[in-house]
Copies of this chain bind each other. A is one copy, B any other.
Amino acid sequence: MLTLIIAESALETIPESLWNHPAIRKLSKTRRRHPNSILLDRSYHHVAMNKLENNEKRGRPDIVHFALLEALGSPLNKEKLLTTYVHTVQDVTIQVNREARLPRNYSRFVSLMEQLFQVGRVPPNSKEKPLLVLKHQTLQQLIKEAKTSHLLALTRSGRPKTLEETISNLAGFNKAGVLVGGFPKGHFTQAVTELADEVVCIDSEMLETWTVVSRVIYEFERALSLPKKRLSETRSSS
């Protein structure tokens, strides 16, 4: 069982300090929505973001989008052995139902996230288990809730170790957890790495979030011999 947390993710609605920026006011008028219900996106709000604090780590919803598609489409997830959370740079967390089929199209993903930030869950009124639930909580609170027994953080500032070795150790724990950064540049804040039991660097260069997510999950599957098990089912059922 693996708990994946995409942490300090660059996913948020346009922050109050930008609401009066001319480009944002124009956008708000065109879209007929208040900026607090529009996702911050560097592709479109680059100029407005210039003066935003910590801006190199913010405004990249595409990172969460790709990373979630990698996670939810994995055999590990299909076997119900993966639990996925998103934690954002503004201390919002998103619990992702493993059966959620997220939109492949980016604009539709953005609309879904905007609805989630407004209503707190999607779909808003379903009687069944929601696909996504939003909470205002810190990473520390989320980790406590997820009850991981051993938490690994992957970051370039960690101890150099191959992913193979790292994950094969991790898979020995009953409720293993892993933190992968959901931002485009920079490092985890110290408060984040202090929450981890182990802090590891898996490559000499920065790797993209979706690449790390995909590799972590695949190594975890390998550690459980899942590829072989699933193929032998194919043989016996065909």
- A residues adjacent to B (C-beta < 8 A): 41, 43, 60, 62-63, 66, 69-70, 73-75, 78, 103-108, 160-164, 201-205, 207-208, 210-211, 214-215, 218, 222, 227-228, 230-231, 233-235, 237
Instruction: Say yes or no: A205 contacts B75, CB within 8 Å.
Output: yes
Q: From the candidates B106, B161, B214, B237, name the one contacting A211 in the complex (CB within 8 A).
A: B214
Select A162's contact among B63, B69, B205, B231, beta carbons within 8 Å.
B231
* Residues of chain B lying within 8 A (CB to CB) of residue A75: 203, 205, 207
9 nearest A-B pairs in the assembled complex, by CB-CB distance:
A106-B106, A43-B105, A204-B234, A214-B214, A160-B231, A204-B230, A162-B227, A73-B208, A62-B104
A230 CA to B66 CA, complexed, in Å: 25
Query: A162-B228, A204-B237 known; 15 other A-B pairs, CB under 8 Å?
Result: A62-B104, A62-B105, A70-B210, A73-B211, A74-B211, A75-B205, A107-B107, A162-B227, A162-B231, A163-B227, A203-B227, A204-B233, A204-B234, A214-B215, A218-B218
Majority SS at the chain A contact face:
helix
Least CB distance, A55 to chain B, in whole angstroms: 16
Copies of this protein, total: 2
Residue on B nearest A237 in the bound complex, by CB? B204
Measured between alpha carbons, how far is A205 from B74 in the docked complex, in Å?
10
Shortest distance between the CB of A42 and any CB in chain B (Å): 9
Residue pair A204, B218 in contact (C-beta under 8 Å): no
Q: Are B78 and A205 in contact (CB under 8 A)?
A: yes
**Residue in B73, B106, B204, B210 whose CB lies within 8 Å of A207:** B73
- Which residues of chain B are near A103, meaning CB under 8 Å? 43
Residues on the B chain within 8 Å of A230, using CB: 203-205
Given contacts A70-B211, A211-B73, contact A104 B203 (CB under 8 A): no
